[in-house]
Chain A
Amino acid sequence: MRESRVSNLLPFGFGAWLFFSAYLCSLLLLGWLGRKARKEDSLQDFYLAGRGFSFFVLFLTLYATQYSGNTVFGVTGASYRLGFPWLISVHYMLAIIVFMRTYAFKLQTLARSRNYVTPVDYLKDRFHSRLLATISSIVMIVALSNYLLAQLMTMGRALQGLAGPAGDIAYNYGVISLALIMVIYGTLGGLRAIAWTDVIQGSVLFVGFFVLLLLVINQFGPLSIATETIAKASDLDKLERPNSSMLREWLSYIFLVGIGGALYPQFIQRIYSARTTQGLRQSFAVMAFMPFITALIAVIIGIYALAYIPGLEGAATDQALSSILRIVQEQSLFGYALVVLIFSAVLAALMSTADSAMLSISSMFIKDIYGVHIRPNASEQELTRLGKRCSWIVVGLLSLLAILLKEQTSLIGLLDRKFDLLVQLAPAFMLGIHWSGLRTGPVLIGLVLGIIIALTLAFGPFSFVVAGKVWGFHPGLYGLAVNLSYAILGSRWLARRENFDPI
């Protein structure tokens, strides 16, 4: 009954629904197999898959996790609004790998020898401060909840764009049904199941993006005609070099998203789950080229949409990709079949990112908050069981919020605030792992100062904050500048004072 109502909303036939159903059922099957493959009822087995990921699984799970619904819809939508200046999305995707490289390999070795499960386990071990660990957990949980909310909203928009006039109802169906499937396989098999689904999702995403590019070129002609069409429509600013203000934004995005993205808890947990440092290094080496075959294609699709589907505004620009797909699918049976494949890739991008965020949130809440402050003597089995319940509650609440907020904000807006918070953890992770002179007190005070500055600038009523940025730079970077300076200078000052202490 419910299936037939959904079919009436979307321009997909029985065959397409069969394909989607088979694809989604395969995710549930992998969840069940992941549960069967568990070796013990422990946090390490559930949240890190027993630290057994080889290069192949590691690469595909990193790839599927990094390229999300924001990449597919947010980048396409922003390219539609801004044109070629949004090429910055390709740059910041690479910046994430560059910044991760600065600490990932050393952290993986430490995590293996000291049995870290959550990102905060490293901070506890390095700085021995309960307060620093708790604040860091809260920052990561808030940032990831924001991220998961954005993914759930994109799930809704994925269906909304294809549904045409009945989009509002399709949005609700998209959020609820996909979130439900995700939480089932995620809580059945933990990270093992999620990584296995990432292998499928990463492969589908990889192939889907290539197919998408070929399909769009076949449908609309070469990119040169699209850019000429944009030029004729007097949208020259969308083809020209970014102005000086936008160039400052480029620099800001490279550092903000590069550093913030490198500190995603779900990435850190994938670093922990690598079987060897060598496999991790190889995965990163391949990941360094992925922006060219994923984010760049998303930008190109946005340019095509700008040329051939003018008139979208505000949050509707995030539906630029869906609108392109809708046109392609109406042209031929072959186009229709390929759109079904691409739509599966889109679902893959969304679900693979959202499930990782869900698992990270539950692990941090259970191990770093509940297991420390509420029930310090809880057993691993109890924490694992509660972690699964926590996933259900988090996804349930955020799905409800995604439905209530569907018209409130564009995806890129959501993306910015999350990174403003996450970058404040950079001194503790990226500097703390290399410099033994970094002290706990200055890191803690620097973190608090950074968060206060970032949030005050982001949400305060200041006339000098334009479009959420100060002179083209995100508030989080101002906070990070103060945070980092305090951490370094404070640590040096403490060391000097101890050296001159007459006692």
Chain B
Amino acid sequence: MSSSFKHKTLNHTFITVIYLFLLVLVIPWYWPENDARQFYGFPFWALASLGVLFLTSVFTAMLCLQNAESACEKVG
């Protein structure tokens, strides 16, 4: 197993773990169901979910702007 293959696998695992972590938080299962409090018209649970979603956008944009390692890979 080459070091570049190991590095790539680790990289993909790290990205998947981060996305799964964000997925767990973006669905507001942890928020009390009957909480009707709001901030500027947005329920608190909605703001929490949108906040995590924004982090997901930032993470995705960062990944997109990374230098292409896949551009010269062979087709699967």
Contact = CB atoms under 8 A, between A and B. Distances in A.
A289 B71 contact: no
Given A231-B36, A240-B33, A226 B26 contact: no
A106 interface: yes
A434 B27 contact: no
Interface in A247-300: 247, 250-251, 254, 277-278, 281-282, 284-286, 288-289, 291-292, 296
A291 B56 CA distance: 12
Contact of B68 (A94, A105, A432): A105
A60 to B, nearest CB: 17
A223 B43 contact: no
Contact of B27 (A97, A223, A247): A247
B21 interface: no
A234 to B, nearest CB: 12
Interface in A367-413: none
A499 interface: no
A282 B64 CA distance: 7
A468 interface: no
Contacts of B45: 240-241
B40 A224 contact: yes
A338 interface: no
A434 B46 contact: no
B41 A241 contact: no
B14 interface: no
Interface string A218-259: 000011111100010000100111111001001100100000
Q: How large is the interface on B (under 10, 10 to 19, 20 to 34, 35 or more residues)?
A: 35 or more
A438 interface: yes
Centre residue among A98, A223, A433 by max chain B CB count within 10 A: A98
A482 interface: no
Contact of A98 (B19, B65, B73): B19
Interface string B6-25: 00000000000001000100
A227 B19 CA distance: 32
Contacts of B46: 84, 87
B40 A101 contact: no
A277 B53 contact: no
A469 interface: no
Contacts of A289: 57, 61
Contact of A243 (B27, B33, B61): B33
Interface in A422-452: 431-436, 438
Interface of B: 19, 23, 26-29, 31-36, 38, 40-43, 45-46, 49-50, 53-54, 56-58, 60-65, 68, 70-76
Interface of A: 84, 87, 90-91, 94, 97-98, 101, 105-106, 109-110, 125-126, 222-227, 231, 236, 239-244, 247, 250-251, 254, 277-278, 281-282, 284-286, 288-289, 291-292, 296, 303, 431-436, 438
**Cβ-closest 10 pairs across A and B:** A223-B41, A224-B41, A285-B61, A285-B64, A241-B45, A288-B60, A288-B57, A284-B64, A106-B70, A288-B61
